[in-house]
């Protein structure tokens, strides 16, 4: 008998439609150097495959001509819309906005820098037609990244999977196809401190990996630096694991046990052999050690308290400044179906 997942995939395969509407969710932030090339490359692939599609661009507070270029292309027939956020809320909030405004039967999340190869879109669609609800890109070659970034990413994935109760595929980014059922599930997650890779894994559903070699950026520069990556990793760990808090509980219990045992030893030694002159070095070492442990543990607790503080304020994840609509992808798809029937 096949495993339950295979039965589910087979059932979902039978439910798939032949011509899904594909929503391409593309967060952009100061991408004027590459956005025209991105539109040309992706447009050619979609036209060749004959896929009904819409673009959902999320302008995350760009200060260059990115929004102007996209507005012009939308006004000349590009299907989709441009969601302009009121300021830079970060990529996780931009992805959330894209999911909220996607109308497609499936959505494909990809970056505008062409490091997420659009050539894989047809294979993702085939994976969806085979019954999978999620088809995620798995980076097997990251030579375009620095050695420090590759090493830190590998360490993060290992640590995350050890500490959390979900399985986050190593080297799987945001580049993925998700079914409408998954989109609706993600919309039901209102948390403010968002780590989208973790949320994609948390909702579950049947998933298929699609290996690819990650190229270098087609143009422009990355908007990530090591400080942002560190905070991003911290959000991921604290958002999906309470192990750091539990570790300090056990550390505190262990240190308290050792301290009690040492105090008992000092009392017995004094009663049996009399008191001796305490050493300054050992006293200062003990004070500094335990003070450091206390500050570190308070800092860990503070990270969780800060996230509780953000959640209790109930502020929206993002604010929309304006929405610029292009051609209607759904109407175009219906018209194409009508022409084919005729």
pTM of the model: 0.67
- Positive or negative CA dihedral for 11, 16, 18, 22? negative
- Cα separation of 150 and 127, whole Å? 28
- Cα separation of 129 and 199, whole Å? 23
Hey, what long-range contacts does 188-192 have (CB within 8 A, 24 or more apart)? Answer: 190/317, 191/239, 191/311, 192/310, 192/311, 192/313, 192/315, 192/317
Determine the distance from the C-alpha atom of residue 190 to the mean position of all C-alpha atoms in its chain, rounded to a whole number. Answer: 15
Domain with CATH 3.90.550.10 in the chain: 4-240+317-337
Superfamily of domain 4-240+317-337: Spore Coat Polysaccharide Biosynthesis Protein SpsA; Chain A (3.90.550.10)
Q: Tell me: pLDDT of 98 over 60.
A: yes
pLDDT in tens, 145-195: 566 666 666 676 676 667 667 777 777 778 889 899 889 988 888 887 777
Average pLDDT across the chain, whole number:
76
Determine the distance from the C-alpha atom of residue 226 to the mean position of all C-alpha atoms in its chain, rounded to a whole number. Answer: 16
């Amino acid at each position: 008998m096949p495993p339950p997942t295979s039965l589910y995939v087979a059932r979902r395969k039978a439910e798939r439609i032949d011509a899904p509407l594909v929503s391409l969710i593309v967060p952009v932030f100061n991408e004027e150097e590459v956005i025209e090339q991105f539109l040309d490359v992706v447009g050619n692939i979609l036209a060749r495959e004959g896929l009904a599609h819409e673009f959902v661009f999320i302008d995350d507070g760009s200060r260059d001509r990115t929004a102007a270029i996209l507005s012009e292309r939308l006004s000349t027939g590009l299907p989709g819309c441009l969601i302009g956020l009121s300021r830079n809320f970060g990529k996780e909030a931009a992805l959330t906005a894209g999911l909220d405004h996607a109308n497609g039967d499936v959505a494909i999340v990809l970056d505008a820098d062409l490091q997420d190869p659009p050539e894989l879109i047809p294979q993702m669609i085939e994976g969806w037609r085979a019954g999978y609800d999620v088809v995620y890109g798995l980076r097997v070659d990251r030579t375009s990244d620095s050695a420090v970034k590759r090493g830190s990413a590998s360490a993060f994935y290992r640590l995350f999977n050890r500490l959390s109760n979900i399985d986050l595929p190593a080297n799987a980014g945001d580049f993925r196809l998700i079914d409408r059922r998954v989109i609706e599930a993600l919309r039901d997650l209102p948390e403010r401190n968002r780590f989208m890779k973790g949320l994609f894994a948390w909702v579950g559903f049947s998933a298929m990996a699609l290996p690819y070699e990650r190229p270098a950026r087609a143009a422009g520069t990355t908007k990530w630096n090591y400080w942002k990556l560190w905070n991003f990793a911290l959000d991921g760990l604290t958002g999906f694991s309470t192990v750091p808090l539990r570790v300090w509980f056990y550390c505190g219990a262990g240190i308290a046990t050792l301290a009690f045992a040492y105090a008992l030893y000092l009392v017995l030694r004094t009663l049996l052999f009399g008191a001796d002159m305490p050493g300054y070095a050992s006293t200062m070492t003990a004070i500094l050690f335990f003070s450091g442990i206390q500050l570190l543990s308070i800092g860990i607790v503070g990270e969780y308290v800060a996230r509780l503080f953000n959640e209790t304020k109930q502020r929206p994840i993002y604010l929309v400044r304006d929405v610029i609509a292009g051609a209607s992808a759904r109407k175009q798809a219906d018209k194409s179906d009508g022409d084919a029937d005729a």
